[in-house]
Structure 1
């Protein structure tokens, strides 16, 4: 039988679709899988288009390129690794490949992209670039590769700036020694060691004249250390000015940014010392960060500061990586189909009760002597750590580290309180559980419940029964160590002496950069008011090979929601930077917009001094209400009355009630003033982004677009369903309309019923008028075909709305929700069950809405606007509350203490040398 003839026209259509997705930075392989899932009958055409797109890109990479470069550097790929000639890269490449397998290809490609952002070492340069990775995702592997390749390309001095703590510097030094230096000790000259930060005492900077030797220093971001490094370099200025220097700034958004008030002429100390490092003739500065909010908000016009003006490289998310999206889910981005995004992530987050949170958080200024006290959630987290560690031993991972993180406060006194309580609890467990036969039943219940919520089969792992795991519990209990790691403790989290099972209590020293090996259990209640601070404190991000089913995180619901929101913010920033990359924009042209949050700042105010008031446009977007005060009868009744008032006003003004394409009541041609009056009366839950600043922005945007006659009028529709099995509601229309079902997330706090998603993409078309069932069926078929042809929903739906309703028409949709809405079954395709389709056991995420009255939700669909000024200003970030301000002061005090301790060490080093 001959092969089916390819439909060449269809192939070209798919090539165009692949190209559109690539320009948005979307994964080519993932796009292919999506197309194959949706259009199985076109498999041959999709596969052919996929191969043509790969060829068009010129390499197997999933995007056009990985970096945005300065205009004069575009296309100038001066560096290419050569395994037959290079000296430093080949042995490191072998080590990485043995460790990570096929991932070496992505690492090789992205590190080459970074080196190409530099200039050849023969040229005078002061290059500055940014590499955007993910928290705990292998940034160190990337910059090790960059160092090796830069050393092959002629850079002679490498300075690696780590975070502000000595344990992070030591961890980085150990990794560099092990993978980069030890295989070629005769070629590297170390200026620092695991035991000693930079001192410059035993080395003459004139040695840098040796072209055949490479020098490397791993230095804390401590102003005294950096000042000594600069003095050492200046002591041989004539030689140093001819020495190519590469500065790698790990965690570059921490301490490196100038935070001194712009009213002062002095820069902050560490920023000033870093800029002095870059004063020499041939220097390249590469900033690494997973949270680059502060980096991209530096004023690009300040050529003497650290804005990445030469290149920005975005690293792909590694395969098997547990990031914020996997753990917390996220909302769909603009233009992204809701049913292609997992809104909840894996079912690994456990909520700590408000009572326990209050007990374990510090008392603050009002109660400084308050003793912190843990509760059931802390005990459950400790039990889970013991059991997960035991399960890993059953699976043959007994030779691996296993860790638990407890992060509740910055205050060292609180850490000691917790140490005493947890040590007491562990002692009790050791005395009670001397063999598998006397393990309490609550352990079995917890194990079996958790295994049901995140089955091992989800990750192609073999399930572990309670009996199999329990055999190892007594020895895990016996071997588990409890340490406090903070700025004043003498203990440190140390993985260098063989496999450890450790529970670590800490604050700042455990909150950035440092890897907690084999982290399976986290108990986290520390609040932070800045995006970057909060994301960096999440040490649970990373790789969990062989135990992907075991990580668990206990945290308050507030933080769970914040991390979900940050996952969306993070994805938006990456997608926006990727668009610049695909369009080959110069970094100086990049003006990254970062979504504001009602409860958090993007980064500290001091780091945002260069940020200017941004603007936001709602053009083409859909907005929705997702939280409701389910127990507040007055609040719910007021919203119902607001809808009835709107209906009455439309009827009084002579607007007819029509029938939409989906059988719903629709009013057309409603003036914007009526919509703004309605938004004034309708209450949006205050604990949401839409309920705070964006509600004002919405009305400001509507007013501005209406005054300029770009928003001509509104249609108002009422979302219904075909049957009335859930009951009906009287809103003053011609007839009562059927109620909808929307259940809430199981973790919703009382008075904040969170339904996560109210609208679907196709709801935008609910205001298209069709009077007969025949016309409605024909329209629905047209929608299905347009979506199938486009391979997505958002764009074709907007185009169909413009085609059938007209351009410049807004759409307000009213959603009447039954008060007692129960979760739908996993087979449902409604927004109510969107959480049940992405991973096993999702139905456990939802529970009955259980409101005291029916709930009225709203969705707003804005038309597209081509006007360049169709935007309104962002609101300024809120002030952090007093509790968070106190924590910032405590953090600053801890850093000061660390610096003083380090300066004392430096003085003793000098004294020892003199004597």
Structure 2
């Protein structure tokens, strides 16, 4: 049962049997063992691990089926020759994990990193995998990391190739979602495969760099490599070890049992340590002198490469530090051309991107910012260096000029990591598919800054004390204390340091006046517990039934938070000394129970451990900056039900005549939608067509959306001109939201729809699909030409949002869309409170109430229960509908939902007519799945890059060349 794939199990058992007696080929006892196995059964654990690994494996040589599907699992069973009863038993014990895997947009590359090679050279990866399992990672989580890290390494250049090539790639994760685990896995596999110099660019602060160094030391480099030749039993020899004062040393640091070089592998030499950034190459040039058993051959020759030690350094993204590194490397000489190197750039959209204005460049010369220039020099000095950036906000990276060969554009690959299991992200705070406003996620976790009594900062502080007490209660009732080691609250109102001190003083005053251990304090906490935390508690976790049960833990929570005489620490400053506070070092400090007040430094790359309550009011006009502020995203094991976000609603942005009122929660929702759309588009275009990529990374920028006018995807100096010309969307739900705001535009649009409104049938029909609930609607079938004329004449507040889809529907692209007609569906409202109106003499129509939630843009317009019938008519789903739906299904027919929408209480004339200027005729549609040939690419771009000053249409057939 190797990585070469599953084999006939009973035949393999016969071959491997050491006995002279025939092996027992009756699988019934094996089935019975699986059926009766306990959770910790070793045999079940082995099969869970193997089946999960086979399920997850991307494009294995032994299978043509898609990973994580019942078809893949069935193929595995076929190859194992398992019968139906055993398959059923294993499926019950090890269900197919259907969550999506990594999504890869890539240029064509030369395969070299096969599963066989990975299995044969896997010393550090195997060690890392064992560590993750000891930490409690599930088989699915380990297999997911295995596949995602393999996808990165296989797209790097073969470290043993003769001609040097430096791949450039980007890995996109979620904010605070464990990107470090991925690049640790990538580093482990890369050095196993032969990369011998690893440079990790680990943040812009010593604190962040030190955290990354410690993580790599603990989970990858290990005790024996840290100790080197030092005797672990000699106290005097340990004085120089940088972890002697670390409470996790050595117990939680990985150990190999002996120096790796004594175990048939190779050692790792650290060129930086936890407390020491790169200063200079110790021992000078000799630090990068590699052992060569075959001195006449280059280092990258396999005879030399696999015997050499690996060097790893974690370097701060700082101009002077990088200058020292570049200066020292220049002294090394020709050997640099032989070293397979890997550069990992954590938070690669921060500081690394060149932000100088191209218009100010001298002719033929690119002017670079300091850190971007030093990274470019590093890549030039190391011709075999591979550059992999990691970020949760990729917009700045994909907007880099792709023709700048010395810059960091991810020309070779872009990999989007899946949302990890247990991660609290967008969907936990925003009800993205709820058209009616506040949904379950918002009710559970989101609170406004103000209520009818004023500012809710006191309530947020009370919530912080309550959640601390609840953590202590759960720890006392059997929940692991490890997730509760730190307990923090974040208060982020401004980037101005002068305001932080005043805010900290205000919080301290409120805290000391709160009387948490007195009757008034307990009365407030009891009321908040009943109103909020008990009402939304996860009852699978210990939760007190009354405040009286929780009360004994409140005093201890108050004591922990107030330790040192103050509950607040301020996180800001211009120098490293401002961050050298013990309570900011979550690795070294046993228990951080504090309220953190700050600005920019509390975002990007800084993980606020144990974050439970956030009070957030800061505005910004850049989507990537705003997303990075979302420190409340992340893993909250044992307390995710306690997480609360107090966020500004109706905040003021700017001053004077340009001031505008914004809603921060809706701004986050908008950029979350942008991010989800970006990931969905990557998923859509990732499959190969005829074995070639549909799009390459150079064609990604136009896929970046901007739904909120005042929030740009990234800073202006990080964006270049790119235009999405056409989006082909066969079988895909499309929902425009950028309708006009003025009555003239709305009236114009309503009049455009008059021919369709006139044609709608008067008699309602009942529509349903599968087991879904039925709804009443008026319908009509209209020719494609009729609908196309309507859509051409419509006006939009943001025309670019719909124009690429219109380009496709008009058949103006390379391949005209194959659409005959459309079924237009106007759902009827059944509520007794419904309002009906006549429109342009037609109807009556049931009016839907919707709100613009992001500037001129609406949120969700269509209702999920209405979509299934439309998707079925267009052939986008296989599930059959009721007879009425089925009679409308045609191969070249699309479906469109039309909603007469009002934004406020409608003003109706005495005869029940509504003014066309008061009405938004909103629509969503799905083009017939057959409208584009299955082998045809789906997008066409127009983009401008610096090598061609005129606009160029990038033809899809040339995308892979």
After TM superposition, the score normalised by the length of structure 1 is 0.69
Alignment map for 1:491-502 (pairs within 5 Å):
491-492=578-579, 493-495=584-586, 496-502=588-594
- Which residues of 2 match residues 621-660 of structure 1 at below 5 A? 659=763
State the shift of 1:308 in Å: 2.6
Q: CA deviation at 1:547?
A: 0.8
Q: How far apart, CA to CA, are the structure 2 residues paired with 1:378 and 1:875?
A: 48
Structure 2 stretches lacking a partner, 5+ long: 1-57, 74-83, 229-266, 292-307, 476-480, 562-566, 650-662, 767-776, 907-916, 945-961
Answering whether residue 300 of structure 2 is matched by residue 241 of structure 1, we say no
Give the secondary-structure state (helix, strand or coil) at the position aligned to 2:639. coil
Matched, 1:604 2:718: no
2:707 paired with 1:567: no
Query: Residue in 1 aligned with 2:278?
Result: 198
- Corresponding residue number in structure 2 for 1:258: 354
CA distance in 2, matches of 1:503, 1:157: 40
Give the alignment partner of residue 474 of structure 2, picking from 388, 395, 399: 395
Structure 1 residue 131: Cα displacement: 2.1
Shift of 1:393: 1.1
Query: How far 1:348 moved relative to its partner?
Result: 0.9
* More helix, by proportion: 1
CA positional deviation for 1:278 = 1.6
**Partner of residue 569 from structure 2, selected from 475, 483, 490:** 483
Name the counterpart of 2:774: none
Cα distance in 1 between the residues matched to 2:166 and 2:556: 56
Does the alignment pair 1:445 with 2:527? yes
CA distance in 2, matches of 1:49, 1:297: 50
Q: 1:306 to 1:50 in 2, by over 3 A?
A: farther
Gap change, CA 1:149 and 1:717, over 3 Å in 2: closer
Which of 367, 371, 375 in structure 2 is aligned with 1:270?
Answer: 371
1:544–1:291 Cα change, 3 Å: same
Number of equivalent positions: 745
- Whether contact under 8 Å (1:461, 1:546) holds in the other structure is no
Do 2:850 and 2:902's aligned partners in 1 also have CA atoms closer than 8 Å? no
1:298-309 equivalent positions in 2, closer than 5 A? 298-309=400-411
**What is the rounded CA distance, in whole Å, between the counterparts of 2:693 and 2:781 in structure 1?**
48
The higher-RCO structure (CA 8 Å, 6+ apart) is 1
Instruction: State the distance in 1 between where 2:898 and 2:706 align.
Output: 25
Query: Separation in 2 of the partners of 1:587 and 1:711?
Result: 23
Pairwise CA distance, 1:251: 0.9
Q: Which residue of 1 aligns with 2:256?
A: none
- Is the CA contact (8 Å cut-off) linking 2:848 and 2:902 kept in structure 1? yes
Return the match for 2:609 from 491, 512, 517: 517
Deviations 1:124-176 (A, max 9, x none): 33222222222211111221222233333332222110222222112212222
2:447 to 350, 366, 377: 350
Alpha-carbon distance in 2 for matches of 1:792, 1:488: 63
Deviates more, 1:548-557 or 1:472-481: 472-481
**Structure-2-length-normalised TM-score:** 0.66
* Residue of structure 2 aligned with 1:468, choices 540, 549, 552: 549
Counterpart residue number, 1:758: 862
Partner Cα separation in structure 2 for residue 649 and residue 78 of structure 1: 60
Q: Which residue of 140, 145, 149 corresponds with 1:107?
A: 145
2:108 to 68, 71, 79: 71
Higher mean Cα deviation, 293-302 or 154-163?
293-302
1:664-703 alignment runs, 5 A limit? 664=778, 666=780, 668=782, 671=786, 675=790, 679=794, 694=801
**Aligned residue number for residue 889 of structure 1:** none
The root-mean-square deviation of aligned C-alpha atoms, in Å, is 5.1
Distance 1:503 1:723 in 2: 47
Residues 480-879 of structure 1 aligned to structure 2 (within 5 Å): 480=561, 481-488=567-574, 490-492=577-579, 493-495=584-586, 496-557=588-649, 558-583=663-688, 585=692, 589-590=696-697, 591-592=699-700, 593-599=703-709, 600-609=711-720, 611-612=722-723, 615-616=726-727, 659=763, 661-662=765-766, 664=778, 666=780, 668=782, 671=786, 675=790, 679=794, 694=801, 718-721=826-829, 726=834, 728-731=836-839, 733=841, 736-737=844-845, 739=846, 756-760=860-864, 762=866, 790-791=878-879, 803=890, 807=893, 811=896, 813-815=898-900, 857-861=921-925, 863-864=927-928, 866=932
Residue 716 of structure 1 deviates from its aligned partner by 6.3
Deviations 1:506-544 (A, max 9, x none): 222211111111110111122222222121111111111
The answer to whether the 8 A contact 1:625-1:758 is kept is no
Partner of 1:913: none
Partner of 1:484, secondary structure, is: strand
1:372-391 to structure 2, matched below 5 A, reads 376-391=455-470
**1:340-379 deviation per Cα after TM superposition (whole angstroms, max 9, x unaligned):** xx995773111224999xxxxxxxxxxxxxxxxxx62222
**Structure 1 residue ranges without an equivalent (≥5):** 1-18, 33-43, 333-337, 357-374, 767-779, 822-852, 877-915
Q: How many angstroms apart in 2 are the aligned matches of 1:296 and 1:25?
A: 28
Give how far 1:464 is off.
6.2
Deviation at 1:858, TM superposition (A): 2.5
- Structure 1 residue 621, shift from structure 2 partner: 6.1
1:667 deviates by 8.3
Q: Is the 8 A contact 1:598 1:693 kept in 2?
A: no
Is contact 1:623–1:859 with CA below 8 Å preserved after alignment? no
